[in-house]
Amino acid sequence: MTEAANLVNSAKGVSKIALWILAIDAIKDGIKALIAWQFSVPNQPRDAQSASVMPLIDLVLLVASGIIILMWVFRTVKAAAAMSRVRFPYTPGMAVAYYFIPLLNIYRPFQMMMLTLNWSAPAGKRIPILTKLVVWIWWLSWIVSGVFEFYSSPNADSIGIAVGSMISVLSALALIYIVREMTRLQDGLLVEWDRDANVSPPPVTGAAKYPRPQGQETTA
């Protein structure tokens, strides 16, 4: 198995875990939105136990999904770079680091995701317009939900928490689509890469087989 195949399969293995965690995260945020909406309705009984457990579930899923998604980003960038005949402009480590650098983390992860998708497309093909739109939806909803989470507190407006949670659901669903699309593109690129690698170069014969030393001239 080639190095490129190993890298693509490695990214695919992490993507399967990422899809499960993102699905669980989306369900969790949906439940959180329903609980917050219930709290916003007058004269509705409040489930104090659910409200107290939810922050702990939030923390566990945030850490788990963060680690898995960053592993997936690292491996997909590495796979895309390995199947390119020109140097990928960023290292996998840089792709991960951009999520933690202030100001750069507002736009660089979005650029890296779009760039990796473009480089994962087989030669002569472009990523679909729908995929680009979903990347925009993912990133904008991720930022907006982060703002809601930052300003939320135990005494925050329940409607605000419900809206923020539903935006988080949208972000998770968009990322699920992106993970699946990245896997599809890199599978196609790997097939093309292996096919080109198995094509033998044309035989070298005649004068081309024994090139004249540089500077030597023929004599009549």
Read off the pLDDT of residues 45-54 as tens digits, 9 standing for 90 and up. Answer: 445 445 555 6
For residue 205, is it within any domain? no
> Tokens in use for 62?
């945030």
User: Could you tell me if 41 and 170 are in contact, meaning their C-beta atoms sit under 8 angstroms apart?
Assistant: no
Domain span including residue 7: 3-194
For residue 202, is it within any domain? no
Residue with tokens 């004068």: 207
Residue with tokens 């904008």: 140
Is residue 88 helix, strand or coil?
coil
For residue 58, is it within any domain? yes
**Residue ranges in the chain whose pLDDT is less than 50:** 41-46, 48-49, 155, 200-220
For residue 171, is it within any domain? yes
**In this predicted structure, what is the pLDDT of residue 157?**
61
**In this predicted structure, what is the pLDDT of residue 16?**
94
Read off the pLDDT of residues 142-156 as tens digits, 9 standing for 90 and up. Answer: 898 877 766 665 545
**In this predicted structure, what is the pLDDT of residue 192?**
87
For residue 216, is it within any domain? no
Q: Which residues contact 79 (CB under 8 A, 6 or more apart)?
A: 4, 7, 8, 10, 11, 120, 186
For residue 204, is it within any domain? no
> Tokens in use for 126?
């472009």
**In this predicted structure, what is the pLDDT of residue 219?**
44
Give the chain's domain count.
Answer: 1
User: Could you tell me if 20 and 88 are in contact, meaning their C-beta atoms sit under 8 angstroms apart?
Assistant: no
Positive/negative CA dihedral, 107, 109, 113, 119: positive
For residue 13, is it within any domain? yes
Is residue 75 helix, strand or coil?
helix
Torsion of CA 169, 28, 107, 134, to 10 degrees: -30
